[in-house]
Structure 1
């Protein structure tokens, strides 16, 4: 083999090595794994971390004051209930949209499952409930069988009934006494919003 042939083979091998190295350096890498949110039946769950970071700190008194506004926001009447419509302030007219409004969360607000599972609240004992806390039932795949109410205070010394604000089907916004969650067997549990202060 001549010197020129050896030189050509050497150059070809060097070129091949450089090309392979260049390809390895510029080849796209696999995207980094993104943290998985526990979303259950929540749509657009990717919005929740940002919305949660943007959630304003809010006092218990402010939560209740905001909740009261929907009692008369509809020309002196309650805001009507709807799972598909949005009120003038941009929040959904269902129970979780109403709670999101009261807590000052990003519009249109997370649904009931997200309120429970996506870091907006933490579970507490029913005995720890304080005004502005929530009582949530979110263990159904049907939106018609899930619900959330805003705790306003115990109605009796035995803590068997409490006062609450809610957005209820067929009724709209109302202040009502409930016993959801008191017996511990109906799927309702107490939760504390993480953006509440005090």
Structure 2
């Protein structure tokens, strides 16, 4: 190969290298690669009684609809009440404990928030016991044990003195879904308080 040919190849190679370098220096840099959301990868599944997300999407519901939905579990189990369970889910996707039942009646996201979440996470607001109306809730959520927490759906006062009221609940001890008279919260000393679901109308 002649010296002139060698010189031409060297010049061409140098020009190519300069062009490549110029491209690298002047071309916009690509965005940094996004690392995977490691939390999403390694997070354990939410426990059965975890709060259900999406409160903002909770449908508006009337008091009559809440009570009508509550009644369905009285006979949903082939004419019998839905059995109570803190770990099982009924055919409609809601948890079979007291808060899962209330979530079903209110039309909240499945499987439903737990009792503490119903009280604290924007699903309800505190009201006075005297202001209870059908479809409102009476909640006890001041315990770390699920066995000592409870929520019932208010169905109306059972007497003129407002010392006893009618309610729907999902109860343990073999009871399951039931309609029962209670005085939870009336004396103001048993840990039960009245709450109004924020998605209820009227």
Classify the TM-score, shorter chain: 0.7 to 0.9
* 1:143-154 equivalences in 2 (<5 Å): 143-154=146-157
Q: 1:152, 1:134 → 2: CA distance?
A: 9
Q: In the alignment, which of 52, 58, 66 is matched to residue 55 of structure 1? A: 58
Cα distance, 1:107 vs structure 2: 0.3
CA-based RMSD of the aligned residues comes to: 2.0
Report the CA distance between 1:43 and its aligned residue: 6.6
Residue of 175, 182, 189 corresponding to 2:186: 182
Report the TM-score when normalising by structure 2: 0.75
Larger Rg over CA atoms: 2
Secondary structure in 2 matching 1:79? coil
Contact in 2 for aligned 1:94/1:167 (Cα 8 Å): yes
Q: Please state how far the C-alpha of 1:42 moved relative to its aligned partner.
A: 9.7
1:27 deviates by 8.8
Within 5 Å, give how 1:15-164 maps onto structure 2: 44-45=50-51, 47-48=52-53, 50=54, 52-164=55-167
| Gaps in structure 2 of 5+ consecutive residues | 1-30, 34-46
Gap runs ≥5 in structure 1 = 1-25, 29-40
Looking at structure 2, the residues matched to 57 and 197 of structure 1 have their Cα atoms a distance apart, in angstroms, of 7
TM-score by length of 1: 0.77
Q: In the alignment, what sits opposite 1:17? A: none
Is the 1:137–1:187 Cα contact (8 Å) retained in structure 2?
yes
Name 1:195's counterpart in structure 2: 199
8 Å CA contact 1:85–1:92 kept in 2: the answer is: yes
**Matched residue count:** 161
Q: Matches of 1:92 and 1:78 in 2, distance apart?
A: 14
